[in-house]
Amino acid sequence: METVQSIKETRELIKSWRRNGYTIGLVPTMGFLHEGHKSLIKKASAENDKVVVSIFVNPIQFGPNEDLTSYPRDLEKDKITCDNAGADLIFNPQVSEMYSDNAVTSVTVDEITEGLCGAKRPIHFRGVCTVVSKLFNIVTPDRAYFGEKDSQQLAVIKRMVSDLNFDIDIVGCPIIREEDGLAKSSRNIYLSDEERKAATVLNKSLNSAKDALQNGERYASKLAHVISEKIDNEPLAKIDYIEIVDSVDLKPVCEITSSILVAIAIYIGKTRLIDNFTWNFK
Ligand code: PAF
């Protein structure tokens, strides 16, 4: 497995793979890889001849008061994870390689970026869509793999790929959880022991909502109440949002008559964590 920093070298390698007729899977990441990322790389490796993992903490998707400078990094450990999971190449560019000082082009997806995380992080999805488009143009993968934990990101990228005619299959992969149900996230490292225990409230509150749906609840406001009640009982947790939306266009629903995404964002101390589930209406 190789690690390269330049776009030119990456393109040369990709061209040589293409000459051999290999299919290519891309796993875009910001590094500090955990079991969730590992599952994406393994899936990519099972479905493609060659796998590229990009490791790039993308500055333009972080707002001014967000954690760009403190975002955890550990390239040496990431290399071992990638190698073990079956990656063939790590693309690990510097910021200057990805963004020239005079760049004026970005990719904006409207509407489905307006609610949920997009409402709280106004520049976030423009940054994500811009970097992902650039990665798609550099790596030209057949398939690209994204985790379902970032449910809005996955929906936005699917929409972008469809609207801009990228010839790439977007593969969503299930959330990987700790034993106590907390979704794996690079940001879990920010939690103190006490906060780590409190963070289990995300999954517990979603499980309560699943139970309510199972028992026939069909009003989104009541479902949101079930979740908020649980979270309000956890002193270290503060709700950022609880949204019940259509699973495809991410528009809020009142009465549940189609498949929905139940998505939450919560602050545990200063750390913002997200979680979700999709409920298929039958
Ligand atoms: O999900 C992430 O880690 C990032 O948003 C992504 C897709 C790698 C773009 O920087």
Q: Does the structural domain 186-277 have CATH classification 3.20.20.80?
A: no
What does each C-alpha distance from 89 to 2, 18, 52, 164, 259 come to in angstroms? 5, 14, 5, 26, 37
A 10 A CB-CB count for 213 gives: 18
pLDDT at 106: 98
Task: Note the pLDDT tens digit of each residue in 93-146.
Answer: 999 999 999 999 999 999 999 999 999 999 999 999 999 999 999 999 999 999
List CB contacts of 100: < 8 A, sequence separation 6 or more: none
Q: Is the CB of 150 under 6 A from ligand 1?
A: yes
Architecture field, domain 2-173: 3-Layer(aba) Sandwich (3.40)
d(CA 179, ligand 1 centre) in Å: 24
> How would residue 282 be classed by pLDDT, with cut points 50, 70 and 90?
confident
Is beta strand 2-4 parallel, antiparallel or unpaired with respect to 89-91?
parallel
Task: Note the pLDDT tens digit of each residue in 163-197.
Answer: 999 999 999 999 999 999 999 999 999 999 999 99
Question: Residue 50's closest CA among 139, 134, 132?
Answer: 139
Return the residue whose CA atom lies nearest to atom 8 of ligand 1.
29
pTM to 2 decimal places: 0.97
- 124 part of the active site: no
Q: Name the DSSP letter for residue 29.
A: E
Q: Is the CB of 118 under 6 A from ligand 1?
A: no
**In the chain, what are the domain boundaries?**
2-173, 186-277
Are the folds of 2-173 and 186-277 the same? no
pLDDT at 202: 98
